[in-house]
Amino acid sequence: MGLWNLFKKKKKVQSGVCFSNEKSSIELVKSFLETYADEISRVSTEDGNKLTEKTRKFYFELNDGRKITVVVNPDRNFLLKEKIGIEIFLEKLNLESFRNLSEEELTKYNKLFVTVEAVDKEEMKDEEKLLAKTVNFLGKFHKFIIQKRLNHYHFGNRKMVQNPEKWEVSDFIPPLSEKMFTEYNLEITNNDIERKNKNIDRIKQNSFPYNENMEVNISETNVQICKKWDIIRRIVAIVMIRLAAETYLEKKENGQKELKAIIDIFEKKYEFKQILSEREKNYLENPSDDKELNLEFYFMLETAKMLLWVLSLIDIEFEDFNTFCDVSMFIDGLKYEKLKSFARKCEIRSKNKILDMLDYTYRLNWANVEIKLEGYDRIVNESIVYFSRLALEWVVQDGKNMEEIIIHT
């Protein structure tokens, strides 16, 4: 040990550990780097080589001079020896410390051990202040993960990486590689700008959060409205899928037999099976015990409600984003009609009206996420606004399967 190292004052640090049972270690590292992308001035490794997927320890320095050390997937013994100020379970809140998890349970998690160095004399002297900085620093990562799961692309008023598959960890060398970012090539029109401003004003009037950096999600230049018959068939398909989900979730007696009879009746009336995806066909033909799948198809009925609005059959007010619709309303409205007779009662709303509603729900969805992340109660029901947007985004992209639509805010 050199004389300088012997007398050099040791830097004060605080540590935290982040656990994830859904992300791979490389996904965890990518998300961590992405969280602090606009704060990092320099990245380095122990051996001086570039950062790669195999790197297990690396360092970065923030713009304010603070140094951060990250260890990827340290073992249990390493963690038990460390003084850890905060533990974060990213996907599910775990009230127990990792110390209370069995070794077998702990192996299900990928981990990042993060050391935050004091940046000034005040933090060197006050351990509680440094701990608070560490909690705040890693809390930002936790918040980012929540938003990323919701495909929330305006974290901290900046555009987030939209496709994690497009870049390697080695691309993360400030200044950031363009490979990390996939920009939308939107041709914004005057109508798009007017629509954006109008809906921001509407959001403002309700004192909801808003982001002026968010352009329209879909420009009018890229819109092609679905055909009326396809919209009607999609409504019928969603209703049949909802009935199937109810049958599976409620385990109704003779449910499968009755379901098949209802599906056959509506198929003769509307020929809806021709627009089903393979996943939907399989779901209707093969009962599933997958609770998440059943719940997804159960709540998808909200897309049908918005499609009725598109067909000018109902009006939708703000309160409707907090009120679940009743499947019996759809059955009653559909069972005495056939495709042609039902179509005669419908009129597709204008492209501008549909895009106005789409942009409004887009901004409402963003505000709903933002206000929850600040610790307040939601504005609207997440499932209702999600499926409402899904319906609208599908309607303006004729030829695209609803399952191909990616919802982001």
Helix (H, G, I), strand (E, B) or coil at 58: strand
Please state, in angstroms and rounded to a whole number, the distance separating the CA atoms of residues 269 and 68: 64
225, exposed or middle or buried, with CB in 10 Å at 0-12, 13-18, 19+?
A: middle
Q: CA 52 → CA 73, 94, 112, 167, 174, distances in Å?
A: 15, 30, 15, 11, 15
Question: How many residues does the structure list for the chain?
Answer: 409
Mean pLDDT lowest among 52-56, 284-288, 310-314: 284-288
At 153 the pLDDT is 47
pLDDT at 360 over 60: yes
Domain range list for the chain = 10-180, 228-404
Helix (H, G, I), strand (E, B) or coil at 69: strand
Asked if the bond preceding 175 is cis, omega within 30° of 0, the reply is yes
Give 91-144 as a DSSP string: SS---S-GGGS-HHHHTTSEEEEEEEE--SHHHHH-HHHHHHHHHHHHHHHHHH
At 5 the pLDDT is 45
Pairing of strands 13-20, 40-45: unpaired
- Residue 248's identity, in one-letter code, is Y
- Per-residue pLDDT of 158-210, as tens digits, reads 555 656 666 788 878 776 666 665 544 567 899 999 999 999 999 999 999 88
Closest CA to 170 of 266, 75, 55: 55
Closest CA to 120 of 61, 42, 62, 66: 66
> Looking at domain 10-180, which CATH architecture does it have?
2-Layer Sandwich (3.30)
% residues pLDDT > 90 (the chain)? 56
Tokens of 231: 């919209």
